[in-house]
Amino acid sequence: MSTSTTSAPPPDTQDPAAKTPRRSPLPVVRRGWRRAWRRDWQLYSLAVLPLLFFLVFRYLPMLGNVIAFRRFEPGGSILGEQWVGLRYVRMFLTDPTFWQVFRNTLWLGGLTLLFCFPLPLVLALLLNEVRRRSLRRFVQSVSYLPHFLSIVIVAGITLQMLATDGPVNHALGLLGHDPVRFIQEPGWFRTVYVGSEIWQTAGWGTILYLAALTTIDEDLYEAARIDGASRWRQIWHVTLPGIRPTMITLLILNIGTFMAVGFEKVLLLYNPLTYPTADVVSTYLYRAGVESNSFSYAAAIGLFEAIIGLVLIMSANQLSRRTVGTSLW
């Protein structure tokens, strides 16, 4: 807004460097800190507690990752006792279970991306075509609902629906099928996981797309109609390009969380019988660290996971900036 830049407080207290259009030479900026402090110390004081929070609960754990390279003993220093180099990294790289959970992670992450990313977009486009406003609002309200429930409840509902005496098996029985043990069979886990993920997130995912759709200029549709574009071509040439920035942003964010797929949900849905397909990197490191007390080993895996995540999101960001010109930063 223009108001914030034109009406500044008395000129002597203004820091000209803060305004992009009129960049002043460096010396003014250097003198600025002391003056800024004198003028704004009350504002800075409001930031103290939040900064302390970020420092202790976000940045200290990042440093805490050094225990991946140091031997850690429970009850000892949180930064570990002595350096052991890449011992724990080598350990998990030669651990067959690690590679199995790594493969499972790629599978679950890939399937989630394949199904849970495009479905909200499709749903949003369908909703957008509904003419009756009340109907549209109703469908939206219903489809958002699962998002507001605890993941424990979602897992509980999933297990109940798929139990051997649950409705799904009952329906299969009517079709003459034998009951399927969805929860106990490794072969079913990926379907169960992705299915429940769709149920929980597809509706809520439409919200950002619907927001983006409202910003598209009606004149563009008018122009397309005059040019003789069919409904389908209007979607292709006007709607989709209009929401492309939103799509790209969401895709980048999705790719960024790829490695951390559904930690909590997997933890709630899996059991030792389904480990062969269900166990992912994050659940494995949870069991290794918290349940078996191999903190350093688990931290090494966690660091590996976080770095892959960071690399993924940064490359996705770079790629989209180069190719389509949209990026998160």
Partner 1 sequence: MSQPTRGYRVFQGVNGVVLTLVVLVTLYPFVNIIARSFSGEGHIRAGEVALWPKGFNLTTYRIVFQDSMFWRNYGNTVFYTVVSTVIAMVLTTCYAYVLSKRDLKGRGLLVGVAVFTMFFTGGLIPNYVLVTSLGLKNSVWAIALPNAISVFNLLVMKAFFESLPVELEEAAEIDGLSTYGILLRIVLPLSKAVIATMVLFYSVSFWNSWFSAYLYMDRTELMPVTVYLRNLIAGATTGGNAGAATEQLSQVGANIQAVTIVLTSLPILCVYPFVQRFFVSGVMLGAVKG
Footprint of partner 1 on 184-243 (CB under 8 A)? 199, 203, 207-208, 211-212, 215, 225, 230-231
- Minimum CB separation of residue 189 from partner 1 in Å reads 16
Binding of residue 155 to partner 1 (CB under 8 A): yes
Q: Binding residues for partner 1, how many (CB under 8 A)?
A: 104
Closest CB to partner 1 among residues 74, 96 = 74
Question: What phi, psi does 182 have (nearest 5°)?
Answer: -55, -40
Query: Which of 91, 106, 161, 180 is the binder for partner 1 (CB under 8 A)?
Result: 161
C-alpha to C-alpha distance for 141 and 210, rounded to whole angstroms: 13
- Minimum CB separation of residue 38 from partner 1 in Å reads 11
Say if residues 82 and 73 touch (Cβ distance below 8 Å). no
Site residues for partner 1, 298-317, by CB under 8 A, read 298-299, 302-303, 305-306, 309-310, 313
C-alpha to C-alpha distance for 48 and 14, rounded to whole angstroms: 23
Query: Which of 130, 180, 213, 251 is the binder for partner 1 (CB under 8 A)?
Result: 130
H or E stretch at 70: strand 70-71
- Minimum CB separation of residue 209 from partner 1 in Å reads 9
Site residues for partner 1, 33-72, by CB under 8 A, read 33, 36, 40, 42-44, 46-47, 49-51, 53-54, 56-65, 67, 72
Which one of the spans 81-89, 98-106, 107-115, 122-130 is the region binding partner 1 (CB under 8 A)? 122-130
Say if residues 245 and 326 touch (Cβ distance below 8 Å). yes
Q: Which residues contact 152 (CB under 8 A, 6 or more apart)?
A: 268
Site residues for partner 1, 237-276, by CB under 8 A, read 245-246, 249, 256, 264, 267-268
Q: Which long-range contacts (CB under 8 A, 24 or more apart) does 26-30 make?
A: none
Question: What phi, psi does 70 have (nearest 5°)?
Answer: -130, 150
C-alpha to C-alpha distance for 145 and 13, rounded to whole angstroms: 50
Closest by CA to 261, choosing from 136, 117, 79, 50, is 117
Binding of residue 126 to partner 1 (CB under 8 A): yes
Binding of residue 327 to partner 1 (CB under 8 A): no
